[in-house]
């Protein structure tokens, strides 16, 4: 835009030097062309800015989705890890109960019967 304005100013200066061109309307033609060209450039600039604004909005939505998906994935992995650890602990507890003569079902129900936990005959 600045370049176009500089060219328009230079054209006015040149036209002043060329009195013969004024008589045929060349200066008026040039000014009309410059105004039309400036309007076209402004329209194109507005279209480009609108496309940019839409692209920025799409990018923001995409980033938000990616961020939310990452958090959901981390939460799912944490839940799966906790479940896995709980299952391992339960398996170890059952294994320990079997080693001292208890059944896995006794351990899960909490039924220790008459046997004292410290009463182990090996």
Express each pLDDT in 48-74 by its tens digit. Answer: 999 999 999 999 999 999 999 999 999
- The proportion of the chain whose per-residue pLDDT surpasses 90, expressed as a percent, equals 42
Instruction: Name which of 42, 29, 41, 34 is nearest 5 in CA terms.
Output: 34
* Residue 21, domain member (yes or no): yes
Within the chain, which residues score under 50 in pLDDT?
A: none
**Count of structural domains within the chain:** 1
* Residue 35, domain member (yes or no): yes
* Residue 51, domain member (yes or no): yes
Q: Model's pTM, two decimal places?
A: 0.45
Write out the two tokens for 56: 């920025």
User: Domain limits at 43?
Assistant: 2-94
pLDDT for residue 23: 61
* Residue 118, domain member (yes or no): no
* Residue 110, domain member (yes or no): no
Instruction: Name which of 42, 33, 41 is nearest 8 in CA terms.
Output: 33
pLDDT for residue 40: 95
* Residue 52, domain member (yes or no): yes
* Residue 58, domain member (yes or no): yes
pLDDT for residue 99: 66
pLDDT for residue 121: 52
* Residue 41, domain member (yes or no): yes
Q: How far is CA 89 from CA 63, 75, 79, 83, in A?
A: 39, 21, 15, 10
């Amino acid at each position: 835009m600045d370049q176009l304005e500089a060219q328009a100013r230079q054209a006015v200066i040149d036209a002043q030097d060329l009195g013969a061109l004024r008589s045929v309307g060349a200066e008026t033609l040039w000014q009309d062309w410059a105004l039309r060209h400036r309007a076209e450039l402004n329209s194109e600039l507005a279209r480009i800015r609108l496309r940019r604004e839409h692209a920025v909005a799409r990018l923001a939505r995409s980033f938000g989705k990616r961020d939310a998906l990452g958090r959901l994935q981390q939460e799912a992995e944490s839940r799966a890890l906790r479940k896995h650890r709980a299952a391992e602990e339960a398996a170890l507890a059952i294994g320990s109960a079997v080693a001292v003569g208890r059944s896995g079902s006794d351990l899960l129900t909490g039924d220790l019967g008459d046997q004292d936990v410290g009463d182990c005959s090996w």
